[in-house]
């Protein structure tokens, strides 16, 4: 039986290690399984709720597209596409809004966060963001959605909406999606020691030039222990990232250096830089080739648009058949 995996990334900033560890790593793993079809996309209409600058939005859309492709442009079972290319999603979005109780949106964390900051910044797109996300997912009979922990509630909302629709018509019209959340990487620390997030300006981007990456790593906040002091790897921001990418021998070696004293912070930073550069050598090379070739990127979008629309239109048709014959 075919299984469907689906996830999206908003083009609102640079692709970073948090994206990779929370969702993309699982997305890649699912794409290597037998009988999986993967729909991985750039959520540019979700981005529009917050980003209105046309040039920036365009640049970041290509950036996320090339990032996705750098990991899996050679896979036949993976379709990377632009959300706005698939009009079926937006038709389904409207249908779903009519089965979504307002209270469900009022309870969404992201909306409540925005509400607590500044009510003037809340547009209806932001308010109904979870319904569009439900449409993204339900439009493809998705089985699994690899996401970061911060998206857990959005997945619950999608399941809720699907269930309401199914109950209304007493039929299993929508498949109920399962989130894939990697609990062990649920808190990825940024360069300032807080949760890594675009909005906090503390990300470690993956696809930037080496010297820029080095500069960012050099900015990781550490405590003020002197070189000769023994240091605690478990509370160190450098180590907390290093451990996701280094081998167990490398991790143990560095741990010893921390504990025994005599290690300058620059040593740990250099090791983190090296491990990232080595781990993502192939992907980084691909990324820089891809981002320089807009014609190729446009061809990918065009080809995948046709394929992905076919799948979405089948689901949409099945949904509309329940409304009445005129829809």
Q: Which of 31, 37, 44, 151 binds ligand TRP (CB under 6 A)?
A: 151
What tokens does 319 get? 């949904």
CA distances 48 to 43, 65, 205, Å, are 9, 16, 22
**Please, which residue, 145 or 246, has the CB nearer to ligand TRP?**
145
Q: Does 141 bind ligand TRP (CB under 6 A)?
A: no
Stretch that binds ligand TRP, among 5-13, 64-72, 90-98, 297-305 (CB under 6 A): 5-13
Q: Does 30 bind ligand TRP (CB under 6 A)?
A: no
Angle at 300 between CA 298 and CA 305, to 5 degrees: 95
In the complex, least distance from residue 254 CB atom to ligand TRP, rounded to whole angstroms: 31
**Torsion sign over Cα 146, 150, 151, 155:** positive
Q: Does 131 bind ligand TRP (CB under 6 A)?
A: no
Number of residues that bind ligand TRP (CB under 6 A): 13
Q: Does 10 bind ligand TRP (CB under 6 A)?
A: yes
Q: Does 139 bind ligand TRP (CB under 6 A)?
A: no
In the complex, least distance from residue 186 CB atom to ligand TRP, rounded to whole angstroms: 14
Q: Which of residues 212-241 bind ligand TRP (CB under 6 A)?
A: none
**Please, which residue, 115 or 221, has the CB nearer to ligand TRP?**
115
Q: Which of 88, 91, 136, 143 binds ligand TRP (CB under 6 A)?
A: 136
Q: Does 31 bind ligand TRP (CB under 6 A)?
A: no
CA distance 176 to 116: 31
Structural contact between residues 83 and 136, judged by C-beta atoms closer than 8 angstroms? yes
In the complex, least distance from residue 105 CB atom to ligand TRP, rounded to whole angstroms: 14
For 167, other C-beta atoms within 10 Å of its C-beta total 10
Structural contact between residues 3 and 144, judged by C-beta atoms closer than 8 angstroms? yes
Look at residue 312 and give its three-state secondary structure.
helix
Q: Does 13 bind ligand TRP (CB under 6 A)?
A: no
Q: Does 43 bind ligand TRP (CB under 6 A)?
A: yes
Closest CA to 244 of 89, 17, 23, 50: 17
Q: Does 159 bind ligand TRP (CB under 6 A)?
A: no
Structural contact between residues 40 and 79, judged by C-beta atoms closer than 8 angstroms? yes
**Please, which residue, 10 or 159, has the CB nearer to ligand TRP?**
10
What tokens does 20 get? 């990779």
Q: Does 145 bind ligand TRP (CB under 6 A)?
A: yes
Structural contact between residues 10 and 4, judged by C-beta atoms closer than 8 angstroms? no
Residue with the shortest CB distance to ligand TRP: 8
Q: Does 92 bind ligand TRP (CB under 6 A)?
A: no
Stretch that binds ligand TRP, among 144-152, 182-190, 258-266, 296-304 (CB under 6 A): 144-152
CA distance 93 to 22: 26
With b for 16 or more beta-carbon neighbours within 10 A and e for fewer, the 186-223 pattern comes to eebbbbeeebbbbeeebbbbbbbeeeebbebbeebebe
Q: Which of 4, 5, 8, 202 binds ligand TRP (CB under 6 A)?
A: 8
Q: Does 105 bind ligand TRP (CB under 6 A)?
A: no
In the complex, least distance from residue 3 CB atom to ligand TRP, rounded to whole angstroms: 16
What DSSP string describes 183-252?
GGGS--B-TTSSBP-GGGT---BSSS-HHHHHHHHHT-------TTS---GGG-HHHHHHHHHS-HHHHH
CA distance 214 to 200: 19
Q: Which of 18, 40, 46, 268 binds ligand TRP (CB under 6 A)?
A: 46
Give residues in contact with ligand TRP (CB under 6 A). 6-8, 10, 43, 46, 133, 136-137, 145, 147, 151, 154
């Amino acid at each position: 039986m075919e299984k469907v995996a689906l996830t999206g990334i908003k083009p609102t900033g640079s692709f970073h290690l948090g994206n990779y560890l929370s969702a993309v790593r699982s997305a890649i793993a699912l794409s290597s399984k037998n009988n999986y079809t993967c729909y991985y996309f750039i959520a540019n209409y979700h981005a529009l709720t917050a980003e209105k600058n046309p040039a920036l939005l365009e640049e970041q859309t290509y950036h996320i597209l090339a990032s996705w492709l750098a990991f899996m442009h050679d896979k036949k079972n993976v379709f990377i596409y632009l959300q706005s290319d698939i009009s079926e999603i937006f038709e389904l979005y409207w249908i779903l809004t009519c089965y979504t109780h307002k209270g469900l949106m009022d309870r969404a964390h992201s909306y409540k966060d925005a509400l607590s900051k500044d009510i003037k910044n809340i547009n209806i797109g932001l308010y109904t963001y979870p319904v569009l996300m439900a449409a993204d997912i339900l439009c493809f009979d998705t089985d699994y959605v690899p996401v970061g922990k911060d998206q857990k509630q959005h997945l619950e909302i999608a399941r809720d909406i699907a269930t309401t629709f199914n109950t209304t018509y007493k039929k299993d019209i929508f498949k109920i999606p399962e989130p894939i959340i990697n609990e062990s990487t649920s808190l990825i620390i940024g360069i300032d020691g807080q949760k890594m997030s675009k909005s906090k300006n503390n990300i470690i981007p993956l696809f930037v030039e080496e010297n820029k990456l080095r500069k960012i790593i050099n900015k990781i906040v550490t405590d003020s222990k002197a070189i000769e002091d023994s240091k605690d790897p478990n509370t160190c921001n450098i180590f907390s990232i290093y451990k996701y990418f280094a081998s167990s021998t490398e991790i143990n070696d560095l741990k010893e250096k921390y504990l025994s004293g005599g290690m300058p912070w620059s040593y740990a930073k250099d090791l983190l830089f090296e491990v990232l550069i080595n781990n993502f050598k192939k992907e980084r090379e691909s990324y820089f080739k891809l981002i320089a070739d807009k014609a190729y990127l446009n061809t990918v979008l065009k080809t995948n648009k046709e394929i992905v629309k076919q799948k979405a239109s089948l689901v949409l048709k099945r949904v509309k058949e329940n409304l009445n014959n005129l829809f």
